[in-house]
Homo-oligomer: A and B are copies of this chain.
Amino acid sequence: MFLAYDHGFEHGPTDFNEKTIDPEYVLDLLEEAGVYTAVILQEGVAQAYYEPAKQSIPLLVKLNGKTAFHKGEEPYSPLLCSVEEAIRLGASAVGYTIYVGSEHETKMMQEFSQIEDDAHDKGLVVTAWMYPRGKQVEGQETTPDVVAYAARLGLELGADFIKIPYTGDPESFSWVVKCAGKTKVLVSGGVKRDTSEFLKDVEDFMKVGTCGIAVGRNVWQSEDPVGVSKKLAEIIYR
């Protein structure tokens, strides 16, 4: 169970309100919930707010990031932080997004391969965001075939964990999990939905071998973030 809080980079502050805009609020919420195994931050937020000595939740530094300003361009998410720097910030895990199907896919696979070797060499856990994107996979971003291929690439590229979108039904997702083999599968929480529907989906995909979830907006945009977190934990750690 990972809590994602890199939306300020990926989407801008529109996802936030006067409370959630403040990283301290979110870090406090995390501690209070007490059920997360990692918090996902960009380098700058980690540097300014994450204090290894005080925080009980391990840190995953997201090493690349893309802004929302590039409509119509093939997606590329540049590497912005080294593994060394992530370690200096107290990270025990790193993350990197590959836009599977993008024209710039090769560049991201190469950058990922390098940070993967580097991070494993230094004992860190490596999570790959395997997101189908770009004109070659337009409209197929959550199609079972495409998501299964993305999951398999996560294994072939050496990720410990992958974060991928849910295909929408447990039958097809069961094949996705098999394609990933020994690489553990985290489902991406996605946009804020009705909590009970959201929890229903989590129940479903947890039955077919999924390892867990990387959740953001469905927690800190809810009216009761600590409550939702605890309900999630019940399902996932069942």
Contacts and interface: CB of A to CB of B under 8 A. Distances in A.
Contact of A49 (B69, B149, B182): B182
Interface centre among A44, A77, A117, A136, by most B CB within 10 Å?
Answer: A44
Size category of the A interface is 35 or more
Nearest to A12: B149
Contacts of A44: 154-159, 183
Interface in A57-103: 65-71, 73, 76-82, 85, 100-101, 103
Given A80-B109, A82-B117, A21 B178 contact: yes
A14 B137 CA distance: 16
B105 A152 contact: no
Nearest to A149: B12
Copies in the complex: 5
A29 interface: no
A143 to B, nearest CB: 12
Contacts of A69: 100-101, 105, 136-137, 149
Nearest to A182: B48
Contact of A106 (B78, B175, B182): B78
Contact of A22 (B105, B149, B154, B181): B181
A80 B110 CA distance: 5
